[in-house]
Structure 1
Amino acid sequence: MESLSSSSSFSTTIKPHPLLPRAKNVRFSCSMKAASAFSYQKFIQFALDETKHSTSDLIPSSLQEDFNTLKAMDGKTELNMCSFQAPKIRLLRSLSIEASDCMQVLDFAVFPEAEYDLPIFCANFFTSVNTNIVVLDLNPLHDAIDETHYKEKYYKNLIPLGLKYAELLPWGGKLTSESLKFFSPIVIWTKFSSSQEKHDILLSAFTEYYKAWLSLMDQTKEETDVTQISLNREAQHRYLAWRSQKDPGYHLLKRLIGETRAKDVVNRFLFNGVNELGNKSFLDYFPEYEREDGSINEKRSIIGKSFKNRPWDTRGVFIGDTFS
C-alpha cells in the first residue's frame, strides 16, 4: 500500500466466492460489499474470475483461516482479506478496505512458486474523495534494469501496453531510487483526482495488466535446476524483506487495528514468506540501512536520489542514474 490515511466506518456482507466449491473447515470466501459506482471489489472479482479460468486448480490458502475479516479498533471499519494458491502460484492474496467517507484501499498481489521466475503482480491503490494514489506493476523477480535476458523475457512484448497507460496515467512525481529496483519498465505510478473517467481507466489498466500476467504464467516453464530455484527463492525473499519493512501502508494498519495486529497482517499475510522463504534479515540484504546501534534506518531513502519523471524511455530502457 502506498501513502495512506485513516478511515471511517462501513458495513459489508460476507459471501463465498461463486467460482469455488465449499470445502469443509476451510474459509475461502472474499468479503464482498455490493459494488458501488466505483469499488475495488470489481478488481478483486475480475482477478479471481480470470485466475480460475487460467487454472482449474485454484484453491483457498490455509491463510484464509486466520486472515479473512478484521474489525478495526473503532468497532466499525472492517478489513477484508482473501487468499488462494495454485500449482504455479504460491500465494494470491487481497486486502481491501472501504469506508463510508469514500476512502478505499486495495492491496492485491500474486507471488509465484520458487520454481518459476515470474514477476510478482502488484496492485496498490488508495482512493479518497479527492485523491488517488496508484502503483500497478509486474514487479520483476530479478534485475530488470541491467539483466537484458530477464527484461526481454518478460517485458519486451509488454512495452506497448506500458506506454499506453503511461500516457493515460502519467508519472506521479518523485520516486526513490531504492524503490525503482523493485519496479519494471511498465510500472504505473500515478496520482490523480477522482473522476469516473480516471477510475474506468484504472480498471482497464488493472484488467489488461492482470491478463498479461496470467498469459506469462501460462507460458512459463517449471525450472528444474536446483541452483536457479534457490536464486528465485532468495530473490522473492529479498523482495518480501524490503516490502514488509518499507511498506507505507503499515502506518494505516497500525492506526486501524493496533501495532501487534498490523505487524501480524504485514508479515504473515501481505508479505507471507518473509519468515519462511529464507533466513536473511532486512539488513543482510540492505546493509546500507543499518544505524550505528544496529537498528534499521526508517527513512524511505538514504541515497537521496528520486525521480520526478519516468526514468525509462519508449523502448523500456532505463535512462536514470540510481546511485547519484
Structure 2
Amino acid sequence: MESLSSTSIISAAIKPHPLSSRTKITRCSCSMKVASSFSYKKFIQYALDETKLSTSDLIPSSLQDDFSTLKAIDGKTELKMCSFQAPKIRLLRSLFIETSDGMQVLDFAVFPEAEFDLPIFCANFFTSANTNIVVLDLNPLHDVINETHYKEKYYKNLIPLGLKYAEILPWGGKLTSESLKFFSPIVIWTKFSSSHENHNILFSAFKDYYKAWLNLMDHAIEETDYSQISLNLEAQHRYLTWRAQKDPGFHVLKRLIGESLAKDVVKKFLFNGVNELGDKTFLDYFPEYESKDGSIIEKRSVIGKSFEKRPWDDLGAFIGNNFG
C-alpha cells in the first residue's frame, strides 16, 4: 500500500541494474513446486487449490497470454505471474518475485465481479533475510468506517479472527488516513523478523483469511439492481485507481524490469480494470491530490494524519480520532 513506510526498505533491497539485457516475456504454467525452504509459492498453490474446491469453473484468464514470466534486467531474477477467473471472480491474480539473495515478494489479490459487493482479498508480503513486511486483508469494497450495514454484513463474524492475529502479529507502525479507507477492521499490517515460526504463523493467517473470503464468496448472492451494480463497479474502479497510482510496488518493478514494462504490469495486470471498468481519473476520485499546475501530488499523504496503533476496538468500531 502507498502509505506504508516499507517503501524505502523494499526499494533499497533491490539494487538498480544497467539496461544491459532485454527483458523477455515467456509463457509458463501456474503450477508451483514448493521448495524445502520457506517460499510464497505454497501460498499461491494453497489459494488455487482451495478456490478450485469452491468453484469448479476456475479457468485461466486471458491475461496469461501477456503476463506469465518476466525476466528481470539482471538476467537472473524472474517475475512469475498467474491469473484466473470464475463466475463470481473477475480476476484472481498473483505476482511472485524471488531474487538470488533470498528476497521474496508476493502480491496476491482476488477481485469480485461487479454483481457482487464482496470485499477484495489482498495479500502484500515482502521478505528478506531479516525482515518481513505484511499486509493481509479483506479490503472492503464500500465504506466500513461510516456504513454500518456493509461492515456488519461482511466483518461482524470475522472480528474474532482479526483479534486472534492482532495478538500474534501486532500493528506495524504508522499508517495514513488515506490508506485506512481501503482497509477493514480485521486488517493485518505488521512487521516481524524472519524465522520458521513466524513464517508458519503468516501462512496460517493467510489460510484462515482466504478460507474466510471463500466462505463469503460461496454465500454471496448476485445483485440484480443495476444501480447497486453500478455502485460496486465504481467502488472497485476507485480502489484500482488508487492502488495503480500509489502502490510502492511500482518502484520495485521499475528497478527490476524498467519503467515501461513496470507500468504495464501495474495497470494491465496487478490492477487490471483501471483502464476498463470506468472513465474517472485519479484526480476525479481524489481531487485533494491535485497540484496548482494540475498534476498529481506525489506525496504519500496529503492529509497528514497517521495511526501508530491499531485504530479499531475489539468490536470492530473505528476509534481513530480526527480521521481525515
2:158 corresponding residue in structure 1 = 158
CA 1:179–1:249 in 2, change beyond 3 Å: closer, same or farther? same
Q: How many residues align?
A: 306
Checking the alignment, whether the CA contact within 8 Å between 2:28 and 2:69 is kept in structure 1 is no
1:249 corresponding residue in structure 2 = 249
Q: Does 1:232 align with 2:236?
A: no
Q: What's the secondary structure of 1:105's corresponding residue? A: strand
Q: What's the secondary structure of 1:32's corresponding residue? A: coil
Rounded Cα–Cα distance in structure 1 between residues aligned with 2:33 and 2:297: 39
1:294 corresponding residue in structure 2 = 294
Superposed CA offset, 1:44-89 (max 9, x none): 0000000000000000000000000000011111100000000000
Rounded Cα–Cα distance in structure 2 between residues aligned with 1:92 and 1:257: 23
Q: What's the secondary structure of 2:48's corresponding residue? A: helix
User: Counterpart of 2:81 in structure 1: which amino acid?
Assistant: M
Superposed CA offset, 1:168-207 (max 9, x none): 0000000001000000000000001111111000000000
Superposed CA offset, 1:259-281 (max 9, x none): 00000000000000000000000
Q: Superposed, which structure 2 residues align to 1:115-194 within 5 Å?
A: 115-194=115-194
**TM-score, length basis structure 2:** 0.92
Checking the alignment, whether the CA contact within 8 Å between 2:61 and 2:84 is kept in structure 1 is yes
1:15 corresponding residue in structure 2 = none
Q: Does 1:32 align with 2:35?
A: no
Q: What's the secondary structure of 2:303's corresponding residue? A: coil
User: Counterpart of 2:32 in structure 1: which amino acid?
Assistant: M
Rounded Cα–Cα distance in structure 1 between residues aligned with 2:144 and 2:112: 17
Aligned-pair distance for 1:40?
0.1
User: Counterpart of 2:253 in structure 1: which amino acid?
Assistant: L
Checking the alignment, whether the CA contact within 8 Å between 2:32 and 2:42 is kept in structure 1 is no
Aligned-pair distance for 1:7?
3.9
Q: What's the secondary structure of 1:274's corresponding residue? A: coil
**TM-score, length basis structure 1:** 0.92
Rounded Cα–Cα distance in structure 2 between residues aligned with 1:259 and 1:31: 28
Q: Superposed, which structure 2 residues align to 1:13-162 within 5 Å?
A: 29-30=29-30, 32=32, 34-162=34-162
Superposed CA offset, 1:228-285 (max 9, x none): 0000000000000000000011000000000000000000000000000000000000
Checking the alignment, whether the CA contact within 8 Å between 2:267 and 2:275 is kept in structure 1 is yes
Checking the alignment, whether the CA contact within 8 Å between 2:312 and 2:320 is kept in structure 1 is yes
Rounded Cα–Cα distance in structure 1 between residues aligned with 2:126 and 2:294: 33
Aligned-pair distance for 1:322?
5.1
2:263 corresponding residue in structure 1 = 263
Share of identical aligned residues, percent?
81
Superposed CA offset, 1:209-230 (max 9, x none): 0000000000010000000000
Aligned-pair distance for 1:29?
1.8
Rounded Cα–Cα distance in structure 1 between residues aligned with 2:42 and 2:34: 10
1:16 corresponding residue in structure 2 = none
Aligned-pair distance for 1:28?
7.0
Checking the alignment, whether the CA contact within 8 Å between 2:93 and 2:109 is kept in structure 1 is yes
CA 1:231–1:302 in 2, change beyond 3 Å: closer, same or farther? same
Aligned-pair distance for 1:100?
1.9
Rounded Cα–Cα distance in structure 2 between residues aligned with 1:165 and 1:97: 26
Checking the alignment, whether the CA contact within 8 Å between 1:31 and 1:82 is kept in structure 2 is no
Checking the alignment, whether the CA contact within 8 Å between 2:14 and 2:255 is kept in structure 1 is no
Aligned-pair distance for 1:113?
0.1
Aligned-pair distance for 1:33?
5.1
Rounded Cα–Cα distance in structure 1 between residues aligned with 2:238 and 2:244: 10
Checking the alignment, whether the CA contact within 8 Å between 1:31 and 1:68 is kept in structure 2 is no
Q: What's the secondary structure of 2:164's corresponding residue? A: helix
2:307 corresponding residue in structure 1 = 307
Rounded Cα–Cα distance in structure 2 between residues aligned with 1:285 and 1:143: 14
RMSD: 1.3
Aligned-pair distance for 1:321?
2.8
